[in-house]
């Protein structure tokens, strides 16, 4: 899948909150209501948009299917050794 270059705006709940770093590769808002999203858009105007998009694309490359499978295999191989 080819990245589209859109800046991610999300709340900190769920797994995305573990990947998204506020102001680095997207924006985390307190709530996904109109006020929270408006605040994120206003904050995005004061940063280098291309830098955030670059950081987001770089981050996304860590989370491809091959890396995910490799990590699952590593976890399952080590599951019985830590007892």
Determine the Cα angle at 19 with ends 56 and 22, to 5°: 70
70 vs 30: which has the higher pLDDT: 70
Using CB atoms within 10 Å of the CB of residue 57, give its burial: 0 to 12 exposed, 13 to 18 middle, 19+ buried.
middle
Q: Taking residues 65-77, report their average pLDDT.
A: 90
Give the chain's domain count: 1
In a domain, 52, yes or no: yes
Q: In this predicted structure, what is the pLDDT of residue 10?
A: 86
Asked whether residue 2 is assigned to any structural domain, the reply reads no
- CA-nearest of 1, 14, 3, 9 to 65 is 1
**Which backbone phi and psi does 2 adopt, to 5 degrees?**
-90, 130
The answer to whether residue 62 is domain-embedded is yes
CA 10/CA 37 separation, integer angstroms: 9
The pTM (predicted TM-score) of the whole model is: 0.66
Give per-residue pLDDT as tens, 28-69. Answer: 888 888 888 898 888 888 777 788 888 988 988 888 888 889
For residue 3, tell me if it sits in a domain: no
Is 56 a member of any domain? Answer: yes
Domain range spanning residue 39?
Answer: 9-78
How sure is the predictor about 7, in pLDDT bands with cuts at 50, 70 and 90?
A: confident
């Amino acid at each position: 899948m080819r990245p589209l270059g859109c800046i991610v705006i999300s709340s900190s709940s769920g797994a995305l909150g573990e990947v998204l770093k506020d102001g680095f590769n997207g924006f985390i808002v307190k709530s996904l209501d109109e006020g929270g999203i408006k605040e994120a858009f206003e904050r995005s105007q004061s940063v280098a948009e291309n830098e955030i998009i670059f950081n987001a694309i770089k981050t996304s490359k860590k989370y491809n299917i091959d890396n995910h499978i490799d990590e699952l295999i590593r976890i399952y191989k080590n599951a019985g050794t830590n007892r």
